[in-house]
Structure 1
Amino acid sequence: MARDPSAKAAWTGAAVAAGLTLAAGFLKAGDLPLILAAFGATALGGLVGSLRRRITQPEPIRATDRHGVAEALLAHVPDPVILVDRRAVVIEANPAARALLPAMRLRHPLSFALRAPDVLDGIEEVLRTGAPLKVSYATRVPTERAFEVQIGPIAMPDGSGSSVVLFLRDLTSARRLEAMRVDFVANASHELRTPLASLLGFIETLQGPARDDAPARLRFLAIMRTQALRMTRLVDDLLSLSRIELREHMPPTRTIDLGPLTRQMVDAQVPLAAERGVTITCAGEGRFPVLGEADELQRVVENLVENAVKYGGPTVAVSLARQDGSHGGEIVLTVQDDGPGIAPEHIPRLTERFYRVDTASSRQQGGTGLGLAIVKHSLNRHRGRLVIESTLGEGTRVRVVLPERAAHPAAEPPPASA
């Protein structure tokens, strides 16, 4: 009886598949001679030979495939890349470039979207000389950003001549970090130089003209002590700020009841308030659990209450409350004073290092200019936020908002104050 042709075809296909599987195993082992000897000049041997040629001599990638790969690569480059022709008309741009320049359109001049004379002149120079160059480009709207633009010639595969590719490297973060570093070093040096110069001057006076003047010696020693304490506070604040910034990316994991901690820090400020004729009140009953570090939260409350006592009016009100937030419950700590208030132009900069509304008054009060910077970075670590509201002549209200932690039976009590 004749064999079914479809069954024969299926069997042949299975045999070929098995043979190719076997051949692949030999190819992995590098034993091509054994394969060819086993299958000889059969059809399967021809398939093996073809497979060998494909491995040892792979076919080149077609131009259309290369174009697709290039587009995929450019799409994943995080920095803007733009290709323009000899007339500075945009040929291609990756998504980052389109996001940076929303007005840019293909087959339109780049100058319609990028109004930067240095960049446009650079394109002309590259086309004229054929040498790459670098220029700077900055934007002001919607935010201030800085770029280094690398401009280079590129030969087009269709023989239409040279075009130009622009690669924009974003330097905004690096410039900001460098500016912050320079400002920080300059401000820290300035803050330390003043008390050091004062100490050196009084020491020289005590060693010279005031050597035998007992009243002057006592007066000078008191001033020297004040200046030394100011330097100590400055160094302590700098170290605290550095420690907080190092751990800012690590959220706390311990449960703290903010109620007792706040009352404890308010009580610690009562002597300073009494000395200045300021009355402090503290409201808020119950538990106010948050995830936090007790030392850092103590510093937050201490800085805010101390600022209100030093620069506010005769009354400071501290309160704790709960409110509903977009992601659940929140604990709100409010410090309200009835002092002279703060002008609106100063409020956005209050958390900057060494920024003071009144430099002379701050130094006279013993401030270092780092208190609110410490508060801001501490709250960043605690995934909280700081809200400052002030009206000239009416006072200032500062609110600290922290995510509420579900009540835990083992909430850690605040450590005893020294």
Structure 2
Amino acid sequence: MTRGRLFGRLYRSYLLAAAAAVGATIVIAAQAVSRFLADRTALQLETFAKLVGPRFETALLYDREQARTLCDSLGKVLGTRLTVILPDGAVVGDSEHDPLTMESHADRPEVKAALAGKVGRCLRYSFTLQKELLYVAVPVLRQGKVIGVVRVAMPARTLGEALRPVRRELAFAGLVLMVILAGISFIVARRISLPIERMKSAAQDFAVGRLGARLIPEGPEELRLLAESLNVMASQLDARIRELSEERRRVEAILSSMEEGIIAVEGQGSVFLMNPAAYRMLGMERTETGKTLGELCRDPDLCRIAEDVLSAGQPISQEIRSKPDGGRLLRIRAAPIHSEVGQVVGAVLVLEDVTELRRLERIRRDFVANVAHELRTPITSILGFVETLLESGTSDESTRRRFLEVVRKQSERLRAIVDDLLLLARVEAQQEARQIRLEPTKLRQVLEDAMEICAPAAADKKIQVELECEPGLVAEANPPLLTQAVVNLLDNAIKYSEPGGTVRLLATRGRTSVAIRVEDQGCGIPEEHLARIFERFYRVDKSRSRQLGGTGLGLSIVKHIAEAHRGRVTVESRVGAGSVFTILLPIPSPGPPAGHTAADAA
């Protein structure tokens, strides 16, 4: 079947049906008119025949030459062919042909009927005149007996000529009717096809996602119901797609905000979902999914875990090192995805970066070990000297005093370690709880307080501490904590400087921060140790540090106090040339009132 627009197909169908109906009507009407005209003509001919029939009675019985003459004269008057036939079929008169040359008409149908006493009618071809004629024959009766037949004939062409105007009128009427029916067919086809075409356009809009389009119910009842059903379907689809889109956005937002990496693979191993954290952990650029895990990340350990969970159908948990840099430690938790019938159709891999966790665990273990070691050394020394005093029972006052002095010094060292641990824990706790109160503070007073605390140690080594700070320089600070940080830096500078040296304490204002610097001319720090000197209990020279009475926590305390002030601490050092420690504090903002916490300013 040829394809085309619905309107064209409907219109052509209606037009063909209308043409067939009009043609059939014209044919039937023409045939009816033809029969009517033939019947009326035959009736006229019958009337003519009956009128002239009695005039041939005498001629038929007594004078056949008279019948011939009378036939010629009456035929001319009537304008038709007139034939007189005897009961034996012999023709005695004919208005258009010589009866002597004519054969017997006893076998003519109309003559047979007339000889039987009936009126005979027949439309047939005349071999005598070589044309088609309408014949009507009536019997001539005398005393109830047929004494002859009078036959009247008219050419069929005369009937056709009479029908020609009627046929023209019928054709014109059919043409007018066809035009009217063509218009009606156009309107009906348009009325049916237009709503369907609108439904088609709406369906195309629905197919490409434009579900806001709506149909106007029009046309027949069935089409109106169909349009309403399509509108309901579009509304439901739109609502469902919106729900799915919103749900997808929520899932994507959740996956994007997760710290853990998520990788979902199909049963054949191809990746169909991967969140940003997974790309970041594996050191990959964002790319289209659909490739296998091996093609995307080229990490054999990760691929092996995915293959194992797909083949075994059991959850797997394992730690691996990422291959891009080898320094990232990842914990992989993989679980299979089962279909409704229990078949493994995929797997989900959750990647957790445990590098920092493992580092913190190592730091915790090192811290516990260092604390235990730092505490065990003075405790062991104290126990040793106390046991010696108890067991020896010496009465030498100088020996006892010397032993007790060692116990006192180790006890002070032990107390210093405990005090520093408590201070560090308190700073960390307050920092995490955002409870450290910051207020605009004049830095010169803080620095002078720190210098006063460290003055005895500086005087013992004849070290001169030089202060450079503008009297009006202000920073947001917690004075006791900031004083403690400066004291720790000054104390270290004095300890590691040669006697008679100089330590400089400076405070300056920059464009975005206030810097407090402590400069010494001591032994300096090797470059390989600079990255770790702010760790707890880390010492560059352990023997010298213990000899000088250090706890190994001073710089760690400085770091945490600087961070509690929303700042940071840096170090520059060169072996044999001294060191420069700098605390950078943000410039006070005019917004928060005096006495706000670090959380308020954050």
TM-score by length of 1: 0.76
Q: Deviations over 1:324-353 (max 9, x none)?
A: 12xxxx221111111121111111111100
Between 70-79 and 211-220, report the one with greater CA deviation: 70-79
- Hey, what's the Cα distance between the residues in 1 that align with 2:323 and 2:497? 37
Structure 2 match to 1:363:
546
Q: Per the alignment, do residues 160 and 70 of structure 1 end up closer, same or farther by CA in structure 2, a change over 3 Å counting?
A: farther
Q: Deviations over 1:284-308 (max 9, x none)?
A: 2322212221110110110000100
What does 1:388-403 correspond to in 2, within 5 Å?
388-403=571-586
Structure 1 match to 2:521:
338
Q: Deviations over 1:39-76 (max 9, x none)?
A: xxxxxxxxxxxxxxxxxxx99x9799658735741541
Q: Following TM superposition, by how much is the alpha carbon of 1:155 offset from its aligned partner in structure 2, in angstroms? A: 3.9
| Displaced runs of 4 or more, over 4 A | 61-68, 140-144
Structure 1 match to 2:315:
132
Aligned-partner residue type, residue 76 of structure 1: I
Structure 1 match to 2:270:
89
- Hey, what's the Cα distance between the residues in 2 that align with 1:285 and 1:291? 16
1:244 aligns with 2:244: no
Structure 1 match to 2:251:
73
| Contact 1:147-1:170 at 8 Å conserved across structures | yes
Q: Secondary structure at the match of 1:184?
A: helix
Structure 1 match to 2:453:
268
Structure 2 match to 1:297:
482
1:166 aligns with 2:349: yes
Q: Deviations over 1:110-131 (max 9, x none)?
A: 1244344333222222222211
Structure 2 match to 1:310:
495
- Hey, what's the Cα distance between the residues in 2 that align with 1:138 and 1:125? 18
Q: Per the alignment, do residues 104 and 137 of structure 1 end up closer, same or farther by CA in structure 2, a change over 3 Å counting?
A: farther
Q: Deviations over 1:92-123 (max 9, x none)?
A: 21232233332464222312443443332222
Aligned-partner residue type, residue 384 of structure 2: G
Structure 2 match to 1:147:
330
Q: Deviations over 1:387-410 (max 9, x none)?
A: 1000112111111111233699x9
Q: Secondary structure at the match of 2:507?
A: strand
More helix per residue: 1 or 2?
A: 2
Q: Following TM superposition, by how much is the alpha carbon of 1:219 offset from its aligned partner in structure 2, in angstroms? A: 1.1
Aligned-partner residue type, residue 291 of structure 1: E
Aligned-partner residue type, residue 297 of structure 1: L
Aligned-partner residue type, residue 275 of structure 2: N
Q: Following TM superposition, by how much is the alpha carbon of 1:86 offset from its aligned partner in structure 2, in angstroms? A: 3.6
Higher radius of gyration, 1 or 2: 2
Q: Per the alignment, do residues 246 and 144 of structure 1 end up closer, same or farther by CA in structure 2, a change over 3 Å counting?
A: farther
Structure 2 match to 1:47:
none
- Hey, what's the Cα distance between the residues in 2 that align with 1:75 and 1:303? 47
Q: Following TM superposition, by how much is the alpha carbon of 1:240 offset from its aligned partner in structure 2, in angstroms? A: 0.2
What does 1:198-209 correspond to in 2, within 5 Å?
198-209=381-392
| Contact 1:104-1:112 at 8 Å conserved across structures | no
Q: Per the alignment, do residues 210 and 315 of structure 1 end up closer, same or farther by CA in structure 2, a change over 3 Å counting?
A: farther
Q: Secondary structure at the match of 2:515?
A: strand
| Contact 1:116-1:137 at 8 Å conserved across structures | no
Structure 2 spans left out of the alignment, 5+ residues: 1-235, 596-602
| Contact 1:252-1:381 at 8 Å conserved across structures | no
Q: Paired residue for 2:438, among 242, 253, 258?
A: 253
Q: Following TM superposition, by how much is the alpha carbon of 1:173 offset from its aligned partner in structure 2, in angstroms? A: 4.2
- Hey, what's the Cα distance between the residues in 1 that align with 2:589 and 2:344? 68
Q: RMSD over aligned Cα, in angstroms?
A: 3.1
1:287 aligns with 2:472: yes
Q: Deviations over 1:130-164 (max 9, x none)?
A: 1121121333766944332121222469x996222
Q: Per the alignment, do residues 303 and 407 of structure 1 end up closer, same or farther by CA in structure 2, a change over 3 Å counting?
A: farther
Q: Per the alignment, do residues 103 and 411 of structure 1 end up closer, same or farther by CA in structure 2, a change over 3 Å counting?
A: closer
Structure 2 match to 1:114:
297
Q: Secondary structure at the match of 1:348?
A: coil
TM-score by length of 2: 0.53
What does 1:28-107 correspond to in 2, within 5 Å?
69=247, 72-77=250-255, 78=258, 79-101=260-282, 102-103=284-285, 105=287, 106-107=289-290
Aligned-partner residue type, residue 502 of structure 2: T
Q: Secondary structure at the match of 1:248?
A: helix
Q: Per the alignment, do residues 140 and 256 of structure 1 end up closer, same or farther by CA in structure 2, a change over 3 Å counting?
A: farther
Identify which of structures 1 and 2 has the higher relative contact order when contacts are C-alpha pairs closer than 8 Å and 6+ apart.
Answer: 1
| Contact 2:442-2:471 at 8 Å conserved across structures | no
Structure 2 match to 1:383:
566
The percent identity for this pair of structures is 35
| Contact 2:281-2:353 at 8 Å conserved across structures | no
1:324 aligns with 2:505: no
Structure 1 spans left out of the alignment, 5+ residues: 1-57, 413-418
Q: Paired residue for 2:377, among 189, 194, 207?
A: 194
